[in-house]
Amino acid sequence: MNATLLKIGANAMAGALVLLAVAGCTPTEEKKEAGAAPQSALQNVLQRGTLRVGDCLSFAPFGFYDKDGNPDGYDVDLAKALAKEMGVKLEMVNTTSANRIPNLQTNKVDVVFCNFTRNLERAKEIGFTQPYVVASEAMLVRKNSGIQSAHDMAGKTIATVKGSTNGDEVRNLGIDVKIQEYDSSQAAILAVKQGQADAMIEDNNFLAYQASLDASLAVTNEALVPLEYNAFGVKQGDQIWTNYLNEFLFEINASGENARLYQKWFGSKPRYPLNPQY
């Protein structure tokens, strides 16, 4: 009888240990689930069925509204190609230089194009893909201004777009200039046309296009900064989405489609190679 009681007690103890083990592991598993990594934007886009691309739609020919009020331009064509490849609808979200990073951080967009130059300072806050277009910087001036280069800008005013660092490039040359910020590229160009600013400093691809639209404007023949590698901006830490976008860029570059779109919008072949030469 004592042996029987001992066996029953042992079984009861074993059962209690099992219950304690189960009870003890449940909170741990729930905690793990609660602390799981957020879902990638890639899965979000596919589940939502819509790709939200932030683009500066006041930055022709990269992005602008056509006569019917629809988004158009080089970046928009790339966004259309990406949405088509993913099998989803496209939503273009008009973006400014100043809110490119906040819109990514607050999930208002899935990716930002918008003439986004890769650099270490921005990489502290967001991630970047491989580059899709390369540029330098020059100045847009009135043809009768007498301005030939940045060295003619001492004591003059440069128009820049809020959120950009373009004006700093001239200051870094040791030239004393006044920086006047505007909400959009079009506002900065208008300031140059109306004499409110002496020059606008920006991407040479963009400026060449603007000068082609107005015979009173010219672009200085200089490279104010080292080459700038423009890429897609993504939310920091989303490597899955970054990998997918890099693969998209690899394929659209290898097929020649990106070069074709550049030719369509800028009227020439890309001036610089996409990868730096070491």
pLDDT band (50, 70, 90) for residue 62? very high
Q: How far apart are CA 128 and CA 122, in angstroms?
A: 9
250, pLDDT greater than 90: yes
26, pLDDT greater than 60: no
**Comparison of pLDDT for 223 and 134, the residue scoring more:** 134
**Comparison of pLDDT for 27 and 271, the residue scoring more:** 271
Q: How far apart are CA 212 and CA 182, in angstroms?
A: 22
7, pLDDT greater than 70: no
193, pLDDT greater than 90: yes
23, pLDDT greater than 90: no
Rounded to an integer, the average pLDDT of 187-199 is 96
pLDDT at position 19 is 40
Q: How far apart are CA 179 and CA 185, in angstroms?
A: 14
Across-strand partners of 140?
200, 219
Q: Range with the lowest mean pLDDT among 109-113, 162-166, 189-193? A: 162-166
Chain centroid offset of residue 246 CA: 13
Rounded to an integer, the average pLDDT of 253-268 is 92
**Comparison of pLDDT for 17 and 44, the residue scoring more:** 44
10, pLDDT greater than 50: no
61 prior amide bond cis, ω within 30: yes
> Which residue type sits at 85?
E
pLDDT at position 16 is 45
Q: How far apart are CA 34 and CA 272, in angstroms?
A: 47
CA angle (205 as vertex; 216, 234 as ends), nearest 5: 135
pLDDT at position 223 is 80
pTM as predicted: 0.72
4, pLDDT greater than 80: no
Domain boundaries in the chain?
A: 42-134+229-266, 136-227
Q: Which CATH code is given to the segment(s) 136-227?
A: 3.40.190.10
On whether the CB atoms of residues 169 and 224 are closer than 8 A, the answer is: yes
Checking 4-10 for CB contacts under 8 A at 24+ apart, the result is: none
30, pLDDT greater than 60: no
pLDDT at position 136 is 86
Q: Which CATH code is given to the segment(s) 42-134+229-266?
A: 3.40.190.10
pLDDT at position 13 is 45
